[in-house]
Amino acid sequence: MNKKTANVLKITLPLVLGVFLVLYSLSKVSVSELLIYAKKANYTWIALGMFLGLLSHLSRAYRWLFQLEPMGYKVKFANSVMAVFATYLINYTIPRAGEVARATILTNYEGVPFEKGFGTIVAERIADLIVMLGIIVVTLCLQFDFIYGFLIEKFNLSKIVIGAFILSVLAVVFFCFIKKSKSKIALKLKNLVAGLIEGATSVFKMKKKWAYIFHTLFIWTMYLLMFYITSFAITELEGVSIGAILIGFISASFSIAATNGGIGSYPLAIYAAFSIFGIAEEPSIAFGWIMWAAQTLMIIIFGGLSLIYLPIYNRKKA
């Protein structure tokens, strides 16, 4: 497969998957039924959820300044905010293109070399991944009995143990092979892992590391609260357990990587998580669509305004 074909597939496959998942979701709950849920929804909770989402994005933009400052770049907060919103908007069109655009915006308007700007974004994603893994671990601890019981009920325990053992052995063998091998693929993997470790530990070397850590935790706290608060908008979800919220949040977070901005996959991911707790199909999917639509609307508004105002703002400054 040549590079051009691979690039086309990277763009088209998520779009095709997104369209398929939208149609599949609508086969579960029709548009007319979704509109009924949308009319009955409490928009005060939805607006509060959007506000919490906005705070997380502003915190992300401010956190970025802590990474750029040690390299000698004093970036304007306004440019950082607009670059972050532009990133989210562009990711709805081409997956991961937003990160490239974000670094490019910094290069064009703040003179930060692309490689350095992009490197800070990669390090930022590593920090976010660590927090996400922490949320997963906490969820597993809090819901261990429930998850264990669910796995026992749905799957054969001996097969799970054997499968886990085989995967562990394969992982150890693969690690030993990569460590000793001098092939191009092995060297690339070793460089990738080394870069990830360096990026993750670089946080502790910056002057304002505690402020950086605070904003990282604040961002994810806002994400969680946004998800939880918005669930109050659907009457049928009253009294939903914290376990369902945590697992639904984790499932929905991973769904965003599957399609452009989580289109189609986001509501189904929430439904899949909530169904484990016996929550009905219709309110689960309706909540997923309302949650996704509210955050997408905010990104379209602020992302669009950012792309329009960026050259105007920086021309005035110049």
**DSSP code, position 262:** G
Average pLDDT of the residues of the chain? 83
State the pLDDT at residue 192.
61
- Is the pLDDT higher at 92 or at 135? 135
Comparing 287 with 6, which gets the higher pLDDT?
A: 287
The amino acid occupying position 186 is A
The 8 Å CB, 24+ separation contacts for 248-253 are: 248/273, 248/274, 249/135, 249/223, 249/224, 250/132, 250/135, 250/136, 250/139, 252/227, 252/288, 252/291, 253/132, 253/223
Separation between Cα atoms, residue 139 and residue 184, nearest integer Å: 38
How far apart are the C-alpha atoms of 110 and 155, rounded to whole Å? 54
pLDDT band of residue 298 (cuts 50, 70, 90) is very high
pLDDT tens-digit map of 256-271 = 877 777 888 899 999 9
d(Cα 16, Cα 139) in Å, to the nearest integer?
Answer: 32
Alpha helices in the chain (DSSP H): 3-28, 31-40, 43-68, 77-91, 97-110, 114-142, 144-154, 157-180, 184-201, 209-231, 242-258, 265-275, 281-317
Min mean pLDDT across 31-45, 78-92, 105-119, 144-158 is at 144-158
The winner for highest mean pLDDT among 15-29, 79-93, 139-153, 155-169 is 79-93
In contact, 80 and 65? CB cutoff 8 Å: yes
Percent of the chain residues past pLDDT 70, beyond the cut: 82
Q: Which residues contact 55 (CB under 8 A, 6 or more apart)?
A: 218, 222
**What is the pLDDT averaged over residues 2-10?**
58
